[in-house]
Amino acid sequence: MPEAPKLCNPTPFAVELPFDRGTRIVVPADSSINLSAAQYESFRSGQAGSEGIRQVLEMAGVFLLDTDLSYDFQALKSIESTIRMRRERVNGFVSRLEVLSTSQGSDVDVRKIENAKKMAGISRMENEIQTLESRRAAFRENLGETSAQKQRAQLDPKRTCFVSNPPKEFPSVLALQIYLKENPDIAAKHEETMARLFPEGV
């Protein structure tokens, strides 16, 4: 994945990310910023602790730009990830409160849970999730199923597996054929997808 030192925010919310010695990186809503060399080194994939950093970025709804993929495709995937992670946090918070209530022999008090959600900022997160879900729907509608053809600037359908997420372009047609032969389940889905995306063949 050819990442660029650019952090993109496809959400309608400004994002603040912790950086070094208490400093924070601010990415305005619907915008992007160019990272310094030190900042990029901290955020790019493959670094020590990069899995934790990736989760921070996904939770915030921002992503490092992949120059081989369209912005819209990356924005959609980023929004989908942050919706999933925020929803998990909301559900986990409510679940813990419900377990606590039942362990104390009490009925679950919906009003108390709602008050606790407001105090913890969970209600605000739920509102943000609703906004993000609307934005996700708009991206999905405009990208459409055939957008796989446009995700790379120079994507060769003869050597690309569109079933992968994101689509994976192999170095040669033979390399793709070998991969599909080794993975028959993926091969079946690949053939179905190719027939749908390229009904006239490639």
pLDDT of residue 94: 92
Q: Would you say residue 11 has pLDDT above 60?
A: yes
pLDDT of residue 171: 79
Tell me the pLDDT band of 146, cut-offs 50, 70 and 90: very low
Mean pLDDT of the chain: 84
Residue 150: burial class (beta carbons within 10 Å; 0-12, 13-18, 19+)? middle
| Preceding amide of 166 cis, omega within 30 | yes
- pLDDT tens, residue by residue, 83-114: 999 999 999 999 998 888 888 777 778 888 89
Q: Would you say residue 2 has pLDDT above 70?
A: no
Tell me the pLDDT band of 48, cut-offs 50, 70 and 90: low
Maximum C-alpha span of the chain: 65
Q: For 85-99, 105-119, 145-159, 165-179, which range has the lowest pLDDT when averaged over its residues?
A: 145-159
Q: Are 151 and 168 in contact (CB under 8 A)?
A: no
The whole-angstrom distance between residue 158's C-alpha and the CA centroid of its chain comes to 27
Residue 137: burial class (beta carbons within 10 Å; 0-12, 13-18, 19+)? exposed
